[in-house]
Amino acid sequence: MHEPTKILDRPPETHKNAEKNPRRRGGWIAAALLILLVFAGCDNTFSVFQTIAKEERQIGEDLFKNTTVRAMADDNANYYALLSKVVWRPKSGGSWNVLAIAGSTDYFAAGLAGNGTKLYVAKADDNNGLEDIYTTSDSGTTWTAMSAAAGIGTDSFVDWLKCANDTLFVAVHDSTGQYSLFYYDGVSSKFASAGVSSIDEPLVDIVYDYHNTSPQYWLISDSKVYKGTTPGSIAEDATAPNNPNYDGYLLGIASDGAGRIIVSRRDGSVYSYSSGAWSPITVKSSTKLGPLFFLALPASSKRILIGKGVSSFGYMEYDESSSTPLKENGSSFVSTSSSIYYTTIHSKEVQAFWQPSSDPNTLFVLLASGNTGTYALYRNDYITGSWSGWTAE
């Protein structure tokens, strides 16, 4: 028997009754007109609704919908992104696909890192325990198991991988909630302690500042700053005045590669380190911040990109050369227009900004898109003196 057609997901009888009730139908029309009059009466100088309405709907890869992109890496040929598995596409363009590791696509990836040539992937078992870390130098044609569990421990859960100064670092925790940092010693071909071992607070991120008169690795936990001149000698930085240490308050770290380090906190402050001392900058008072990134282009308006860890999420831009340095919600952004920001990044949690080391004209933002029905990975290209705006991958 032919089923009656449903309209607007209502049973046919309900829709029929609605059509027979002109008062109800008139109420809907009146409500719609009222909404239009409210918007028409606004002084919409910002014109965000108008500019959003003119934009074409962005279409990206379905595998980036309603998910989280946790890390990115590249080699000479491809881009790689970390979901529950590692996905890849050629830099020249094309579709994203699941990366086979040692001949298999049936795995859970706990971490991803690369140095522009080599790629590293941490594989975990069904309980998220470390199985091994694999590396490839030929875009995944051949893989080498690095025997990571032997040096790191079988009771280890990988939190993240990161390459800094071509050195692979592995942040882990154990079943007792103790956190440690290891690095891969290429001379002895084994994993060794980086000097931070069995602490009771999560490790957040590590960077390397290589243009300083004393090049150093910089690490933050969620409470303290650490540094060291070699991968195996990283220790708490307790000597510099006014450091940003604060229990449970540190959220992001970045380096400009020229002697300056910045650290974001959950009280709205960014701490800046140069010439041996830290100084606080109030970015947005009492606002939880997030990941940081130095945006060097355009050179005439260098910015710091700062993730927002609040209900609206997204990010801000901070222009230290301006008398009104803070830019929010797409307004006066150099990285994108306001309408593109609202239709892509707003209301999503920024996991990281990532830029290929060999290509300063390309910038990715990694997101937790939640249940928004939109995407978790966007790309921005610097073309003829300006950023083109975020485009879904």
> CB 254: neighbour CB atoms within 10 A?
23
Asked if 212 and 259 count as a contact pair (C-beta separation under 8 A), the reply is yes
The predicted pLDDT at position 57 comes to 64
Strands of the sheet containing 179-185, edge to edge, are 157-164, 167-173, 179-185, 190-193
Q: What single string gives the DSSP state of each residue in 268-336?
A: SEEEEEETTEEEEEESSTT--EEEEEEE--SGGG-EEEEEE-STT--EEEE-TTSSS-EE-TTTT-SSS
Structure confidence by residue, pLDDT tens digits, 3-38: 433 323 333 333 334 333 433 444 443 444 343 333
The predicted pLDDT at position 213 comes to 77
Q: Model confidence at 354, in pLDDT bands (50, 70, 90)?
A: very high
Range of weakest confidence among 34-48, 85-99, 237-251, 302-316: 34-48
Q: Model confidence at 58, in pLDDT bands (50, 70, 90)?
A: confident
Q: What is the mean pLDDT of residues 185-195?
A: 96
Per-residue tokens: 169: 């670092």
Structure confidence by residue, pLDDT tens digits, 134-184: 999 999 999 999 999 999 998 999 999 999 999 999 999 999 999 999 999
> CB 139: neighbour CB atoms within 10 A?
15
| Cα–Cα dist 5/28, whole Å | 22
The predicted pLDDT at position 382 comes to 98
Q: Model confidence at 40, in pLDDT bands (50, 70, 90)?
A: very low
| Domains contained in the chain, CATH given | 60-304+318-332 (2.130.10.10)
The predicted pLDDT at position 373 comes to 83
pTM: 0.85
